[in-house]
């Protein structure tokens, strides 16, 4: 069965609405995106052929601030996935209380099959297609799965060309040389580690007390592994689509990170210590903390039953299905939900945007300290809601976010 992430997020929102006693009237506004745009993108390939790619930009809500959210390139992208991701962005920005709404963009493409020049042409054509929708005070894209600072540099340049002036605030997660923020690339990974520290502290534990498994070694997984390793946690397994590296005594994360920079598959890494397992084995690795940092729907009824961990920290968006959630709860596995656990990226995107607007550049330590402050305060609010509503952390985070969104809708009223 194909599990639909948009149905997932709608169901969880509905459960949170009931649990949190949120009025149905304005909640229905938040259930649906404000605007969904589909684009067709003709691109001239290096061999002279023309291919037409499908893309989307879904703008869920701008009630709390400009639409905000990444752009992903993936062969399985579809409208319902982008819709779900746009809703999660609105919830994420609301739960940590930064002044953005939510949006998401995507192009259905397997970027590993395109040359760098082809990817640049595709990115510029996509930017041209959504140009009327985006802007520093309208909708601000950022990196997501298979996109990075280079992709943002192309978006920024195309948008600035079309507008006849430099517009650094139109994207976040851009290179520091183009007024990106220090600490943005590592921010989601760092936020995942902050989330882990916050949940462990409730049981009197610290990072050096735990072992960690990370599924996915992209923008998020790689930096999370680095931050876990630097702060004394033992990273025992990491994986990408090619396979799993495992060492019960702890992997050599600096070497693996260096190796992964070349984009070589982890299955070809060999340092004489790390054991190779097949991709699906990642779920059965014994550890304290399991970090899904890949795609949606990874922890379902089957994989939730085999996990050998005490905590799940959702670094990816939507990695757990509703059935997976139920099984984790039955097994007493504590979960920090995506809309909080991976919010570090968009929080530092917010800092980047603020620096761009004010024509300022902040030091890395300032960025890191402010990230820690925002997440710690928001976690406190979610814990209070959890106690008040006797619910899971996920439902508590949704209630905190939905209350802000629904209340904003209510006091604004419905136009016209």
Which residues are part of the catalytic machinery?
104
Contact 245, 276 (CB under 8 A): yes
Does residue 191 touch ligand GLU according to CB under 6 A? no
Among 349, 355, 356, 368, binds ligand GLU (CB under 6 A): 349
Q: How near is the Cβ of 165 to ligand GLU at its closest, in Å?
A: 22
Helix axes 5-20, 79-95, angle to 10 degrees: 30
Sites for ligand GLU among residues 13-72 (CB under 6 A):
68-70
Q: How near is the Cβ of 5 to ligand GLU at its closest, in Å?
A: 13
Distance CA 218, CA 222 (A): 6
19 CB burial (10 A radius; 0-12, 13-18, 19+): middle
Size of interface with ligand GLU, in residues (CB under 6 A) = 12
Sites for ligand GLU among residues 113-152 (CB under 6 A):
142, 144
Nearer to ligand GLU, 181 or 392 (CB): 181
Nearer to ligand GLU, 4 or 151 (CB): 151
Does residue 106 touch ligand GLU according to CB under 6 A? no
Among 342, 355, 368, 392, binds ligand GLU (CB under 6 A): 342
Binding mask 70-89 for ligand GLU (x = CB under 6 A): x-------------------
Angle at 400 between CA 89 and CA 385, to 5 degrees: 145
> Sheet containing 50-61: which strands, arranged edge to edge?
35-44, 50-61, 102-108, 67-74, 139-143
Paired strand residues for 69: 141
Does residue 318 touch ligand GLU according to CB under 6 A? no
320 CB burial (10 A radius; 0-12, 13-18, 19+): buried
The alpha helices in 244-363, defined as continuous H runs, are: 253-260, 301-306, 322-330, 338-341, 344-358
Binding mask 158-187 for ligand GLU (x = CB under 6 A): --------------xx--------------
Q: How many CB atoms lie within 10 A of CB 363?
A: 10
Rule CB under 6 A: which residues touch ligand GLU?
68-70, 142, 144, 172-173, 317, 342, 345-346, 349
């Amino acid at each position: 069965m194909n599990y639909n992430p948009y149905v997932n997020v709608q169901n969880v929102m509905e459960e949170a609405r009931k649990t949190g006693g949120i009025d149905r009237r304005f909640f229905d506004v938040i259930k649906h995106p404000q605007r969904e745009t589909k684009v067709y993108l003709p691109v001239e390939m290096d061999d002279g052929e023309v291919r037409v790619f499908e893309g989307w930009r879904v703008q869920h809500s701008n009630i709390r601030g400009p639409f905000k959210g990444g752009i992903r390139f993936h062969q399985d992208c579809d409208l319902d996935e982008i819709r779900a991701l746009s809703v999660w962005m609105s919830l994420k920005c609301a739960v940590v209380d930064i002044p953005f709404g939510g949006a998401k963009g995507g192009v259905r493409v397997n970027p590993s099959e395109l040359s760098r020049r082809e990817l640049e042409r595709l990115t510029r054509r996509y930017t041209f297609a959504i140009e009327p929708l985006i802007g520093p005070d309208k909708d601000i894209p950022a990196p997501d799965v298979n996109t990075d600072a280079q992709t943002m540099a192309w978006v920024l340049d195309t948008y600035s060309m079309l507008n006849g002036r430099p517009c650094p605030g139109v994207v976040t997660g851009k290179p520091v040389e183009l007024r990106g923020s220090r600490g943005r690339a590592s921010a989601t990974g760092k936020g995942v580690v902050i989330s882990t520290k916050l949940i462990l502290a409730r049981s009197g534990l610290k990072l050096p007390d735990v072992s960690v498994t990370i599924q996915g070694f992209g923008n998020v997984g790689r930096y999370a592994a680095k931050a876990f390793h630097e702060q004394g946690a033992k990273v025992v397994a990491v994986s990408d689509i090619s396979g799993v590296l495992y060492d019960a005594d702890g992997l050599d994360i600096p070497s693996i990170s260096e190796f992964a920079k070349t984009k070589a598959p982890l299955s070809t890494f060999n340092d004489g210590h790390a054991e190779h397992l097949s991709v699906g084995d990642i779920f059965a690795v014994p550890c304290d903390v399991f970090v899904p940092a890949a795609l949606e729907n990874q922890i379902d009824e089957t994989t939730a039953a085999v996990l050998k961990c005490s905590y799940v920290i959702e670094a990816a968006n939507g990695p757990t299905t509703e059935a997976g959630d139920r099984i984790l709860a039955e097994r007493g596995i504590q979960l920090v939900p995506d809309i909080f656990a991976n919010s570090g990226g968009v929080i530092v995107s917010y800092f980047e945007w603020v620096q761009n607007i004010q024509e300022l550049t902040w030091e890395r330590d300032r960025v890191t300290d402010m990230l820690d402050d925002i997440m710690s305060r928001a976690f406190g609010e979610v814990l209070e809601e959890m106690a008040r509503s006797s619910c899971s952390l996920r439902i508590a985070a949704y209630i905190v976010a939905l209350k802000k969104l629904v209340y904003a809708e209510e006091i604004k009223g419905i136009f016209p």
